[in-house]
Amino acid sequence: MALNQTKLAIETLERLARRVARRDDVPTGAQAPLLSIGGGRTGRMPPIGQGLLDAFVRAQELNDVTRMRLGPLSVFVLSDPEHIKQVLLTKHALYEKETRGYRKLRLVLGNGLVTSDGDLWLRQRRIAQPAFARSAIAGFADQLGTGALDFARSLEGTASRNGTIDFGDAMNSLTLRIAGETLFSTDISGRSSEIGANFKEVLHAFPRLVSAPYPYPEYVPIPRNFRIWVARHKLFQLVDSLIAERRRSGEEVHDLLGMFMASQDEDTGETMTDLQLRDEALTMLGAGHETTANALTFTFYLLSMHPDVARAVEAEVDEVVGDRLPTYEDARRLTYTTQVLYESMRLLPPVWSVGRVPREDDEIGGYTIPKGSYVFLSQWSMHRHPKYWDNPEGFDPDRWAPDRPKPNRFVYFPFSRGQRQCIGDRFAEMEALILIAVLVRRLRFSLLPGYRLALDPSVTLRPAGQMQMTVAPR
């Protein structure tokens, strides 16, 4: 096995060297302007972090199509909605998810809908689609409200003494519990710290694995890699046991796992195998809970920074929901709260970039995009592009008011666009709105004085370090 891995690494290095050499000879068309960010041709790729967010903004300022070199990689950043549409929609079949980031993400999520591609992705999407129909997700509103209410009640003691919590960590615990209940009809809150720690172990290693200057850094026999594989095994073991128990019971349960198991491909009649079920469950459990947790964390951060907006949200929730648990229809009636959520995901998008690799040479905006190069479409930079937004750095929920024009779909795309738009976008939006409604009805959260937000753009965009907030009753 070790010899095979060594051979594979050598072959990969040879292919990479050939690719770098070929990229210096652009076949046809014009070369896009080059943005120099350091790192050199063969040097280490700059670590994923705030610097990469800044580089995407600088690329946008330079040109609509901008080249960068990240170590040995040839990278193109697109900053025009028509160019982004070309990659995500009109020529989506040409652009694959074969970036290094997606390959590393498959270590823990397998070939779920986030990481799979081609025919496998299309088959999985067709099978999973019924589970995310509007009529299906509406049935989960009670579970979401109950989970949020239990969480709010657990903080009553902290609120009574104006205590503090790490808000990001709290939102991760809450959304992980809800993900477990909606996926498996199982309260995993007793194991949430263990599950969260295992996801954290793997996902926090993501920047290091992506930016390593050599192939397959996860196979290097060092202690931190051993911890990754142990954490991965524990996550697989947990989900496999839940799937096996459901198979043994033969019980039909109205949860996402049950819907996945019951769904069939309309063309072939095929259902998901246990391996495919595991990959989709891990995708929903891992990527799903973290993106929602980060969206909530940033939303409450912005509400704390803008108390007038927070009071308006409270007033709307009081009027629409009152003292009962919010329903799916209530969530749709929370117009101003939805505007706040959209503006939060504009300024601080949990999914901060999308990467693709063309399988053949292409041309975008008159510039050649060579086969095998990396193409990045950044929500972070497009959501604050001054060409398309008034006061792009300002927090303004009113820009989403019903009487205001909607932004171009390829300027604002927090859940991506095209065929690969997130299948769970409506579920995630409903979840966020119901959780916000329950929490603001009972509690107020305030940042500690002097807090300054630092960002950690990894698999998702999240706060770097703790976000301490005081909790007080309303």
At 218-249, the pLDDT tens digits run 888 899 889 999 999 999 998 899 889 888 88
- Cα separation, 84 vs 77, in Å, equals 10
Are the C-beta atoms of 422 and 88 separated by less than 8 Å?
Answer: no
N-term to C-term CA, the chain: 60
- Name the least confident of 119-123, 145-149, 341-345, 386-390: 119-123
Amino acid sitting at position 144 = L
Number of domains in the chain: 1
Model pLDDT, residue 215: 78
Q: What is the pLDDT of residues 299-337, one digit of tens each?
A: 999 999 999 999 999 999 999 999 999 999 999 999 999
For residue 396, name the pLDDT band (cuts at 50, 70, 90): very high
Spatial separation of the C-alpha atoms in residues 208 and 112, rounded to whole Å:
22
User: In the prediction, which pLDDT does 42 show?
Assistant: 39
Secondary structure letter of residue 398 according to DSSP: G
- CA-CA distance, 30 to 26, in Å (whole number)? 8
- Nearest-angstrom CA–CA distance, 403 and 317: 21
Q: Are 56 and 378 in contact (CB under 8 A)?
A: yes
d(CA 238, CA 195): 9
The number of beta carbons lying within 10 Å of the beta carbon of residue 338 is: 20
Contacts of 460 (CB under 8 A, 6+ apart): 287, 290, 291, 294, 350, 351, 352
| Residue 210 contacts residue 48 (beta carbons within 8 Å) | yes
Q: How far apart, in whole angstroms, are the C-alpha atoms of residue 462 and residue 447?
A: 16
Token digits of residue 1: 């096995």
Confidence (pLDDT) at 56? 92
pLDDT-derived band of residue 48, with 50, 70 and 90 as boundaries? low
Q: Report which residue type is found at 84.
A: I
- Identify the CATH number of the domain in which residue 327 sits: 1.10.630.10
Q: How far apart are CA 147 and CA 182, in angstroms?
A: 10
**119, pLDDT greater than 70:** yes
Q: How do residues 423-461 score in pLDDT, each as one tens digit?
A: 889 999 999 999 999 999 999 999 999 999 999 998 899
- Residue 201's domain comprises 2-473
Closest listed residue to residue 266, CA positions, set 61, 125, 137: 125
What distance in Å separates the CA atoms of residue 29 and residue 12, rounded to the nearest whole number?
Answer: 28
Which pLDDT score is estimated for 72?
66
CB atoms within 10 A of CB 257: 23
Compute the distance between CA of residue 441 and CA of residue 320 in angstroms, rounded to an integer: 11
Residue 203 has pLDDT above 90, yes or no: no
Residue 115 burial (10 A CB sphere; 0-12, 13-18, 19+): buried
In DSSP notation, 321-332 reads TTTSPP-HHHHH
Please state whether beta strands 65-70 and 34-35 pair in parallel, antiparallel, or not at all (unpaired).
parallel
Report the chain's C-alpha Rg in angstroms: 23
pLDDT for res 185: 79
Q: Calculate the average pLDDT of the chain.
A: 86
Contact between 455 and 463 under an 8 Å Cβ cutoff? The reply is: yes
Residue 455 and residue 459: Cα distance in Å, rounded? Answer: 12
* Local confidence band at 28 (pLDDT 50, 70, 90 cut-offs): low
d(CA 199, CA 98): 22
The DSSP call for residue 30 is B
pLDDT confidence of residue 102: 86
Going by pLDDT thresholds of 50, 70 and 90, the confidence category of residue 10 is very low
Q: What residues pair up with 375 in beta bridges, in sequence order?
A: 76, 356
Dist. CA 352–CA 200, nearest whole Å: 19
pLDDT at 67 over 50: yes
Can you read off the two tokens belonging to residue 41? 């041709």
Is the model's pLDDT at 21 over the cut of 60? no
Tell me what the mean pLDDT of segment 22-42 comes to.
60
pLDDT higher than 50, residue 101: yes
User: What gap in Å lies between CA 287 and CA 206, rounded to an integer?
Assistant: 13
Q: Determine the 3-state secondary structure of 6 from DSSP.
A: helix
